[in-house]
């Protein structure tokens, strides 16, 4: 068994997903086994094209990409174009990929890879949980085949980013989120806005990436995909929700987490609300993050410099 952490990354590639992909590719302790895509920030056609473009730009065209769910389990798709733009990556101009996707769909690829490497793979989900919920329905033995699962989703003690209490990934497909949170995984760690809102990329760091964009593909990627939010002169930083999930998959000591149970509301104004019962359940729920240590790891992995905004515990 390799000493590197073997990861499947499940994405709806928008701005911070692109940064998470870059972190996974450039972090030497991670073996990026495959990437699965789904509808979330934008439709699955665009999230898949964005994923392929990011990986190819970074020289990771050997990483297979498997297109997954095109809509939530029971609902029409609601996107997050209000932040990520209709492209998913704002005004970024990335060279399009010329390769195709893998032969099996996202949920099937997750099952196949976990079956081939039982106990080795960490699944990191940074979009809606539709692909994982489908995979669990097809292969209920999947939790025992995965080493661990890290989810970026929910808002437990902090307000939401879609409604006053709902985080986007859970709001987009609450039925899928409920199915995942109700499944007794041996190791399921959930990072809500409570911790991801403490990790931020600063305007100064983005500006330094812009200055080096013609020298390094990672700097080019950061300069391009973060351009849209920083076009707002009042914005001093953007959140690193999805890169944090990848980092925690590598080193879960970056967060303090307590065991609990998570329920999800489905309807009306409560749609997407995540409620936690501490001490009862099988989900590890992050409540604090060592933001400075994460940011140091992120910056080093991507060879970025300059000012980083963040909060320590």
Catalytic residue positions, numbered:
241
Among the listed residues 117, 308, 102, 278, the one whose alpha carbon sits nearest the alpha carbon of residue 205: 308
Rounded Cα distance between 92 and 299, Å, is 21
Query: Cα separation of 110 and 113, whole Å?
Result: 5
Per-residue H/E/C for 16-58: HHHHHHHHHHHCCCEEEEEEEECCCCCCHHHHHHHHHHHHHHC
Nearest to 295 by CA among 238, 256, 211, 257: 238
Residues 70, 25, 298: CA angle, nearest 5 degrees: 105
CA atoms of 163 and 49, how far apart (whole Å): 29
Q: CA 148, 263, 152 angle in degrees (round to 5)?
A: 40
Question: How far apart are the C-alpha atoms of 174 and 10, rounded to whole Å?
Answer: 17
CB neighbourhood size of 277 (10 A)? 12
Per DSSP, the three-state class of 288 is: strand
CA dihedral 275, 175, 90, 310 (to 10 degrees): 20
**Contact predicate 177/154, CB 8 Å:** yes
Structure tokens at 307: 């000012």
């Amino acid at each position: 068994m390799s000493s590197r952490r073997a990861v499947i990354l499940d994405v709806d590639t928008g701005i911070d997903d692109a940064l998470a992909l870059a972190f996974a590719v450039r972090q030497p302790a991670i073996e990026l086994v495959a990437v699965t895509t789904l509808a979330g920030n934008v439709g699955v056609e665009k999230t898949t094209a964005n994923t392929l473009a990011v990986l190819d730009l970074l020289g990771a065209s050997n990483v297979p990409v498997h297109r997954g769910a095109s809509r939530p389990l029971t609902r029409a798709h609601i996107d997050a174009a209000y932040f990520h733009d209709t492209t998913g990556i704002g005004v970024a101009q990335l060279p399009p990929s010329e390769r195709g996707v893998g032969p099996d769909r996202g949920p099937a690829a997750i099952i196949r890879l976990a079956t081939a490497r039982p106990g080795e793979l960490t699944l990191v989900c940074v979009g809606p949980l539709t692909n994982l919920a489908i995979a669990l329905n097809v292969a209920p033995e999947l939790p025992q085949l995965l080493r661990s699962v890290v989810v970026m989703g929910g808002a437990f003690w902090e307000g939401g980013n879609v409604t006053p209490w709902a985080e986007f990934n859970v709001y987009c497909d609450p039925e899928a989120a409920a199915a995942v949170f109700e499944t007794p995984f041996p190791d399921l760690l959930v990072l809500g806005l409570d911790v991801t809102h403490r990790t931020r990329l600063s305007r100064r760091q983005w500006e330094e990436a812009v200055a080096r964009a013609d020298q390094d593909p990672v700097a080019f990627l950061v300069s391009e995909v973060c351009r849209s939010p920083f076009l707002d002169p009042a914005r001093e930083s953007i959140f690193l929700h999805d890169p944090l999930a990848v980092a925690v998959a590598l080193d879960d000591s970056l967060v303090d987490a307590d065991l609990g149970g998570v329920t999800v509301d489905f309807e009306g104004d409560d749609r997407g609300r995540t409620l936690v019962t501490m001490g009862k359940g099988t989900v590890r729920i992050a409540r604090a993050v060592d933001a400075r240590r994460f940011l140091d790891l992120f910056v080093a992995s991507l060879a970025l410099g300059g000012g980083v905004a963040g909060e320590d515990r």
